[in-house]
Amino acid sequence: MSQNIIEVKQLVKSYDDFAAVKGISFEVERGEIFGFLGPNGAGKSTTINMLCTTVKPSDGTALVNGYDIVKDQSKVRESIGIIFQENSLDIKMTAKENLMLHCRLYAVPKKEREHRIDLLLKIVELNDRKDKMVEFFSGGMKRRLEIARGLLHYPKVLFLDEPMVGLDPQTRARIWEYIKMLKEEHGTTIFLTTHYMDEAEVCSRIAIIDHGEVIAIDTPANLKQSVGGDVVELGTENNQHAIIELKQKYSIQAVDKDGLVSFQIDQGTQQISSLIKELETPIVTLNLRRPTLNDVFLKLTGRQIREEELTEKDIMRERMRRGRH
């Protein structure tokens, strides 16, 4: 049995002239929590959809649980669980009926069905809505039910495409506990896409994807180490002036990030004190911190993950989030 549960080779997806995924290759080991991190439109959903067999690749190959995503589609589907961004619940059924249907489709043992349904409804805080028609649920409630449904059976690989968008931190934490249990007790491999840095931190390894290409792949710790040194963020009276001064005097490449002058230095504490004394631009605030995954992305691309424009998907997610309240 191969150590890798997913093997992707030169996978391509083109829409007319536009390449959404440009020949990416990577492997996911059995039992890993593997994350795809990248801005809107990077190609995360397209890749996950190809691996789940819902989108046909234009070129390249991929094996999921040893099965080819084009030639052995039904075997791939038997091996996976999916929690997608779009709702696919039957709104004319109650919450429990939706979950029971899923149990039957995925052959969850009969004696375990009631227990798993009750547990998951509790986790997503819908236990009091068990027998209510989904039609009258808010967007957020539907989302939570969709997640509960995706977690009912124990697949070899669980695909989560931006699963927690719009959920409150407590619900997210409870769902994560359950996902970790799936990994620990049932050996489920988790493949997720995310914008959330804290979620990306949970991953054993992360692929950073941008413009349809994997630009880095490693553990969160190694990726952050690759930034080198600490991150300094200065609030100044004239950011542009400070940026020019830092470049001229110290050859430091600083950028204006969310109204702060941001840059990296090797060994924070010592270098920073002399730098502050010598800088002519008045400093208002100073923040010195260890690098985050956002800094990794910034270093690799010169942009921030959150800097991207809102897509239609984002607008839909935002509506869904509001629908909850």
Ligand X SMILES: Nc1ncnc2c1ncn2[C@@H]1O[C@H](COP(=O)(O)OP(=O)(O)OP(=O)(O)O)[C@@H](O)[C@H]1O
Residues forming the site for ligand X (CB under 6 A): 15, 20, 38, 40-46, 311, 313
**Residue closer to ligand X (CB basis): 125 or 213:** 213
Q: Give the nearest distance from C-beta 18 to ligand X in angstroms.
A: 6
User: Alpha carbon of 224 to those of 93, 234, 275: distances in Å?
Assistant: 46, 20, 24
Instruction: Residue count of the chain, please give it.
Output: 325
Yes or no: say if 192 and 34 are a contact pair by the CB < 8 Å rule.
Answer: yes
**Residue closer to ligand X (CB basis): 20 or 208:** 20
The span from the CA of 79 to the CA of 180, in Å, is 18
For residue 255, what are its two tokens? 């950028």
Q: Give the nearest distance from C-beta 296 to ligand X in angstroms.
A: 17
Q: Give the nearest distance from C-beta 15 to ligand X in angstroms.
A: 4
Q: Give the nearest distance from C-beta 160 to ligand X in angstroms.
A: 12
Q: Give the nearest distance from C-beta 43 to ligand X in angstroms.
A: 4
The span from the CA of 138 to the CA of 155, in Å, is 28
Q: List own/partner pairs for 273-279 with CB under 8 A and 24 or more apart.
A: 275/250, 278/249, 279/242, 279/245, 279/246, 279/249
**Residue closer to ligand X (CB basis): 37 or 121:** 37
**Residue closer to ligand X (CB basis): 166 or 263:** 166
Q: Give the nearest distance from C-beta 204 to ligand X in angstroms.
A: 21
Element (H, E) at 12: strand 4-15
Yes or no: say if 125 and 156 are a contact pair by the CB < 8 Å rule.
Answer: no
For residue 179, what are its two tokens? 């996902």
**Residue closer to ligand X (CB basis): 4 or 40:** 40
Q: Give the nearest distance from C-beta 229 to ligand X in angstroms.
A: 29
**Residue closer to ligand X (CB basis): 231 or 296:** 296
The span from the CA of 225 to the CA of 238, in Å, is 30
**Residue closer to ligand X (CB basis): 39 or 139:** 39
The span from the CA of 195 to the CA of 216, in Å, is 16
Strands 67-68 and 283-289: unpaired
User: Alpha carbon of 217 to those of 203, 205, 207: distances in Å?
Assistant: 12, 7, 4
**Residue closer to ligand X (CB basis): 49 or 236:** 49
Q: Give the nearest distance from C-beta 48 to ligand X in angstroms.
A: 8
